[in-house]
Structure 1
């Protein structure tokens, strides 16, 4: 299996990757095909696919913020069972992130992820791909070390229509497994940067960020 970076919309592997995303995620979670052009060419956004016998069997997008010394896992898709795709993507991503942190003269502080909560929202079928079942994904992320931030989390829809998307937790995987709180200003800085690409922010998101600005720390709770 190969871990291949995609940096241009015209890469033939991108069409396969985008089709896989559409099969797995709800429509509001998938950026339109043409709108991927700039993100793919952004050196700070790292999009990789797992390629097996010429086919895209998995993909992950993530980024590392040098000034914050944190990463964000945008998404990870396991498109086929029985190949060890999930472990392959996690291992290769972690090696890459650790190298980026070392080049920044630091050890990675941790990594954010938005995590579906199927106990609140049951309609996410994820294309019928069993490894992407939200109950399975949530437990896998817990095994990896993710915790949930103790906030009522919403995020702007990636369709940029000003709607608030609910039914998720903002997760964080600290490098120190004993860590039980996270700096609120780090969350604010991260969210403001991450969603700067979407001009249409729902009021619920603005209120959430404003409430965080008045806090020092936020609890990290088990998933």
Structure 2
């Protein structure tokens, strides 16, 4: 299995990747094809494929923020069972992140991730891929060490149509054992930076950010 980085929308594999994302994720979770051109040229945004016998069997995208000393798992897709794609992607992603941390003098405190709450997101079958089931994905993140940030999270849809997605939790994987909570101001700064590319965010998202301004610490809870 190969770990292949995608750096351009002109890479023939990107067209396959974008089609795959449209098949797996709900529409509000998929950025338009052309809008990927700039993110893929950003060295802090890393998109990798697991390629087995010329077929895309897995995808992972993550990014890092040097100013905040934090990373974010954007998404992971696994399309084939029985090949160990999940562990392969997790291991390779961690290796890449740790190499970047050394290269750019990062003292990373942890990694964010969004995850669907399966009790609220009952209508998403993720292309019928069993390993992408929200219950399975949530348990996998839990086993990896992610914890839920205890506040009402609002996700602005990537369609940039101003839709609020209420079925996700924002989670965090601490890289330092002593971390049991995060400053609300830190979470706010990360969220506002992360979604700065979207010009049309729902009012519910702005309300969430305002609420974070009124909070002190946000506890980490078990998934």
Provide the C-alpha distance between the structure 2 equivalents of 1:222 and 1:138, rounded to a whole number of angstroms. 11
> Are 2:116 and 2:168, in contact at CA under 8 Å, matched by a contact in 1?
yes
User: Which residue of structure 1 aligns with residue 116 of structure 2?
Assistant: 116
> Are 1:145 and 1:177, in contact at CA under 8 Å, matched by a contact in 2?
no
> Are 2:66 and 2:106, in contact at CA under 8 Å, matched by a contact in 1?
no
User: Which residue of structure 2 aligns with residue 215 of structure 1?
Assistant: 215
> Are 2:48 and 2:59, in contact at CA under 8 Å, matched by a contact in 1?
yes
Please, which moves more after superposition, 100-109 or 64-73?
100-109
Provide the C-alpha distance between the structure 1 equivalents of 2:30 and 2:187, rounded to a whole number of angstroms. 23
Provide the C-alpha distance between the structure 2 equivalents of 1:82 and 1:20, rounded to a whole number of angstroms. 19
- String of CA shifts for 1:102-132, please: whole Å, max 9, x gaps: 2233432100001100112211111100111
Question: What TM-score, normalized by structure 1, do the two folds share?
Answer: 0.97
User: Which residue of structure 1 aligns with residue 172 of structure 2?
Assistant: 172
> Are 2:111 and 2:173, in contact at CA under 8 Å, matched by a contact in 1?
yes
User: Which residue of structure 2 aligns with residue 127 of structure 1?
Assistant: 127
User: Which residue of structure 1 aligns with residue 185 of structure 2?
Assistant: 185
Following superposition, the deviation at residue 178 of structure 1 comes to 5.1
Q: Which runs of 5+ in 1 are unaligned?
A: none
Q: CA RMSD in A?
A: 1.1
- String of CA shifts for 1:50-100, please: whole Å, max 9, x gaps: 111111111111101111110001100011111111111110111111122
Report the secondary structure of 2:105's partner residue.
coil
- String of CA shifts for 1:131-150, please: whole Å, max 9, x gaps: 11110000000000000001
* Structure 1 residue ranges, 4+ long, deviating more than 3 angstroms after superposition: none
Q: Which runs of 5+ in 2 are unaligned?
A: none
> Are 1:184 and 1:218, in contact at CA under 8 Å, matched by a contact in 2?
yes
Report the secondary structure of 2:140's partner residue.
helix
Please, which moves more after superposition, 21-30 or 101-110?
101-110
Please, which moves more after superposition, 174-183 or 51-60?
174-183
User: Which residue of structure 1 aligns with residue 3 of structure 2?
Assistant: 3
Count of matched residue positions in the alignment of Structure 1 and Structure 2:
223
Report the secondary structure of 2:199's partner residue.
coil
